């Protein structure tokens, strides 16, 4: 499990103490593809659960469109995501709707959309992670409007590419190196420049991820929107 930088955990604890429990506390985690958003998110969720919190993890990836539809859309971009549906689900969760249903994208047992039932009635904390998780752009869901603590993982393009290609190699069914290069160049890079990196200005905490995946707080409490 990835270790959580102490300052990040201290900030989470401080914000939680000041949070009114009428609605779930929402942590948004964004950053480049391959930077380790999911790993850090699950580490935070595990820590929170060990302290008695009911933590719900959601990802932008959960709202991918059906693979057949995505094949017609080109390499990669926001159009591959059911952004309006993600926005609806977050709205329902923060309103503590006890009966939320939506199709969830999963790669297991096969790439498809599967029925997903969410009961948010007892959820204390929502961890929402993904490329657009702290974006303020309406066309990208303006998800930062839900977020009480916005975290951005910052990594170099070289490292991000290396990690993302490694992720692809580890999939049961993966793209070829040539296919992955095309996916990276024509999809991920322009999306990162146009849509992911700009959301970093909304961060409450910026975490630097070095080539060995060590995490260091680069900026906190005062960057971004607060």
**Residue range 42-61: mean pLDDT, rounded:** 94
**Residue range 32-49: mean pLDDT, rounded:** 94
Q: What is the CATH architecture of 6-220?
A: 3-Layer(aba) Sandwich (3.40)
Mean pLDDT of the chain: 91
Q: What is this structure's pTM? A: 0.92
How do residues 151-197 score in pLDDT, each as one tens digit? 999 999 999 999 999 988 888 878 888 998 999 999 999 999 999 99
Domain extent listing, the chain: 6-220
**Residue range 42-56: mean pLDDT, rounded:** 94
How do residues 84-129 score in pLDDT, each as one tens digit? 999 999 999 999 888 899 999 998 888 899 999 998 888 999 999 9
β-pair type (112-118, 25-31): unpaired
How do residues 135-147 score in pLDDT, each as one tens digit? 999 999 999 999 9
In sequence order, the β-bridge partners of residue 73 are: none
User: What's the pLDDT at 69?
Assistant: 94
Sign of CA dihedral 105, 108, 109, 115: negative
d(CA 46, CA 38): 12
Instruction: Give, as one character, the DSSP assignment of residue 63.
Output: G
For residues 57 and 41, is the Cβ–Cβ distance under 8 A? yes
Give the HSE-up count for residue 157: Cα atoms under 13 Å, Cβ half-sphere.
10
User: What's the pLDDT at 2?
Assistant: 63
The tokens for 175 are 């793209």
d(CA 22, CA 35): 33
**Residue range 70-94: mean pLDDT, rounded:** 95
Whether the pLDDT of residue 205 is over 90: the answer is: yes
Quickly list DSSP for 171-183: SSS---HHHHHHH
């Amino acid at each position: 499990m990835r270790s959580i930088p102490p300052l990040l955990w201290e900030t989470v604890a401080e914000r939680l103490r000041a949070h009114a429990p009428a609605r779930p506390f929402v942590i948004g985690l964004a950053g480049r593809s391959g930077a380790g958003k999911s790993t850090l998110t699950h580490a935070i969720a595990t820590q929170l659960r060990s302290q008695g919190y009911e933590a719900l993890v959601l990802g932008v990836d959960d709202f991918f469109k059906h693979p057949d539809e995505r094949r017609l859309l080109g390499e990669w971009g926001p159009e591959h995501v059911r952004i309006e549906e993600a926005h609806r689900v977050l709205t329902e969760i923060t309103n503590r709707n006890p009966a939320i249903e939506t199709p969830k994208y999963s790669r297991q047992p096969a790439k498809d959309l599967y029925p997903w039932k969410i009961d948010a009635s007892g959820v204390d904390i929502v961890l929402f992670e993904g490329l657009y998780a702290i974006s303020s752009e309406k066309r990208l869901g303006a998800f930062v409007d839900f977020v009480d603590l916005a975290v951005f993982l910052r990594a170099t393009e070289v490292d991000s590419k290396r990690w993302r290609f490694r992720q692809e190699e580890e999939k049961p069914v993966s793209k070829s190196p040539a296919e992955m290069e095309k996916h990276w160049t024509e999809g991920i890079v322009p999306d990162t420049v146009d849509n992911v990196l700009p959301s970093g200005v909304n961060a409450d905490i910026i975490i630097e991820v070095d080539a060995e995946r060590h995490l260091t707080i680069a900026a906190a409490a005062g960057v971004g929107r607060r």
